[in-house]
Structure 1
Amino acid sequence: MRRGLVHAVAWLLATGAAVTLSWWGVHTVMAGTAYDPPKALPVAGPDGPASPLASSTHRPEPSTSSASASVSTRPSPSASSKSASPRRTTTAAPPPASSPGTSSSGTLKSYATKGGRAVFDLGDTSATLVSATPGAGWSVQVWKQTTWIRVEFTSGTDKVSVFCTWHDHKPSVEVADY
């Protein structure tokens, strides 16, 4: 009985040490990867930029008219049933490949490849990666340096790289299919 208990305790200690070491290794590697937060792009319709009808983070200002003011702070059942109906919104189709948009720092350009889509914010002297979305069955990997960004889409032995460089020139983008 004692021998079995000693083996169980030794196994638990060894397993705990292995899990701790694995977690520390993964944590160390993942702590070194820093990605910029995604940027929200305005959806433009045929009449220009559309304003959202509803948002999960923005509430419309309450009406200040005396007719809508009530003594109770709770809405009446009839008022809540009227305002609870969902609003449907339609959005414009996604922009075609390489269609420019504008952002606060430059021009947004989208590059569609067989492996996925990469969107860059191209400024006068630098560029930033806005998003890199792999297609179905593809994976994506991103490398960033001070004068270039590389986005690589991979599926089996197929590779597609999107290079954005801006060393001593305006940002330019090249797509390479291996």
Structure 2
Amino acid sequence: MRVRTGFLAAWVATTAAGIAISWAGVGDAMRGTALATPELAAQAPVRQGRPPAGPSPEAGAPSAPSPSPSASRTGTGSPAARSTGARPAPSASAKAPSGRVRTYVVKSGRVVLELSARSARLVSATPDSGFQAKVWRRDGWLRVDLTDGTHGSAVFATWKDHPPLVQVYEY
């Protein structure tokens, strides 16, 4: 009986140690991902209406009306739009986040941004069913629209001459 109790105690201690070590490793790996957990989900004020097209050259704040969903994909004056129905595949230059990763859960999906002291980078844009992701990138700002053509959500990050500022619009 004593041998069995000793074996059981050793087994329980070894199993508990293995679980604790595994949990610590998985916890570190999960903190490096862009999962929407309550402590990582960003709280940004939501504005009603369509967002502006881009920051003004002087103030770095939004000022112009939104480009239409059928914005041209060519030329230097128009945004480079990309429409996707699903999550884009990671690029070859994908790297571990170097800034704060923030998840913005909006009515039409989820946008995950990496915010550093001097810029913002799109980690992922996951639209809900029936919506598409459209992304515009420019020097000093980033805009992600999750839209069905009429209604949607926009996450707008600006950082020209200031730390990144994120605004959320529902339209």
Q: Provide TM-score, normalisation by structure 2.
A: 0.47
Work out which of the two has the higher radius of gyration on C-alpha atoms and give 1 or 2. 1
Q: Provide TM-score, normalisation by structure 1.
A: 0.45
